[in-house]
Amino acid sequence: MNQERLMKVLLSPVVSEKAAIAADQSRQYAFKVTTDATKPEIAKAVELLFEVQVEAVRVVNVKGKRKRTGSVQGKRKDVRKAYVRLKEGQEIDFANA
């Protein structure tokens, strides 16, 4: 895993009420990641970018919804999300990152 690849794995943090509750209660942070990212790559990328220690990574593939506007049908993009649990005493502050 080269550093250039690790810098491109994480796309953005997931900002939602559910993600905020998980961060407060169980040191879990949610990120949108590339569709071909693996768990070891995600863990290394988080450790590299935020200088924290990762305990576990869980990955979810979210299928894009089918949408319709009048007679035009479309589909939103599929998204891959990673839930990263940090070791005890670790924290990510997105305001200063």
Q: Are 34 and 80 in contact (CB under 8 A)?
A: yes
Q: What is the pLDDT of residue 63?
A: 96
* Structural domain total, the chain: 1
Q: What is the pLDDT of residue 92?
A: 87
Q: What is the pLDDT of residue 1?
A: 75
Q: What is the CATH number of the domain that holds 12?
A: 3.30.70.330
Report the pLDDT averaged over residues 73-90: 95
Q: Which domain holds residue 15?
A: 3-86
Instruction: Please check whether residue 92 lies inside any domain of the structure.
Output: no
Closest CA to 75 of 66, 86, 62: 66
Instruction: Please check whether residue 78 lies inside any domain of the structure.
Output: yes
Is the confidence at residue 96, as pLDDT, over 90? no
Q: Can you tell me whether residue 58 is helix, strand or coil? A: strand
| Burial (CB count within 10 angstroms: exposed 0-12, middle 13-18, buried 19+), residue 23 | middle
- In this predicted model, what pLDDT tens digit does every residue of 2-49 receive, in sequence order? 889 999 999 999 999 999 999 899 999 999 999 999 999 999 999 999
